[in-house]
Amino acid sequence: MTSSCSIPGLNVARSRFPEPEQDLPAEEGEQRVVLAGGCFWCVEAVLIAMDGVARVESGYAGGSPETANYEAVCTGTTGHAEAVDVHYDPARVSFGELLRVFFSVAHDPTQLNRQGNDRGKQYRSAVFYETLEQKRVVESYIRQLTEAGVFSDPVVTTLEPLEAFYSAEAQHQNFAARNPGQPYIMAVAAPKVEKLIDGFSDRLKPEYTGADTNSKASS
């Protein structure tokens, strides 16, 4: 177990992260993006707080259906990543804005096959794209981060085509909201949500503005 504050990339201020130069058009209707950045409990807790995000589902991407279960994925040998399926309203939050929070708050994209003490390929940083347009925007933003020297180490996020997303077991859904006092949530998810509240108050759902961090680490 590790505090997210001990993960170097998570100490970089919002001001260091540029606005995306490229983005997807604000099409009508709900859109989705599947992201992986370590433990899905924590990534879910951050992204669900963003205004315009309708729902976030924890699950697995990158492997076969036969081994898409928590016990198997935890071995790190199935090819899956713990991932979240983010459904959002592009009229309220853009794909690029979600990427900015994903790279600056939800995880440290410079850690290869790990996040803090969570180690293994299942904890890799990845964007599972559905369209070439999504891939193009992600590639562009990673290039921006690199050229701006935001991180002292290279971004190692992989771009992988989304072949399927497998929903995780019921006990993993909305885990942080249901278990705010759980030690891992308090040590890892809560500091990330605190950073989101401090740095992105203009991008939060109203109920998160000025909210108590521990109780909202996963509301």
Provide the annotated active-site residues.
39
Structure tokens at 37: 């950045």
**Element of type H or E holding 128:** strand 125-129
**Residues contacting 178, CB < 8 A, separation 6+:** 218
C-beta of residue 79 within 8 angstroms of C-beta of residue 64: yes
Q: Which residue has the tokens 């315009």?
A: 52
Nearest to 149 by CA among 50, 43, 54, 9: 9
Which contacts (CB < 8 Å, 24+ apart) does range 144-148 have?
A: 144/18, 144/20, 144/21, 145/17, 145/18, 145/103, 145/109, 148/16, 148/18
* Chain centroid to CA 194: 15
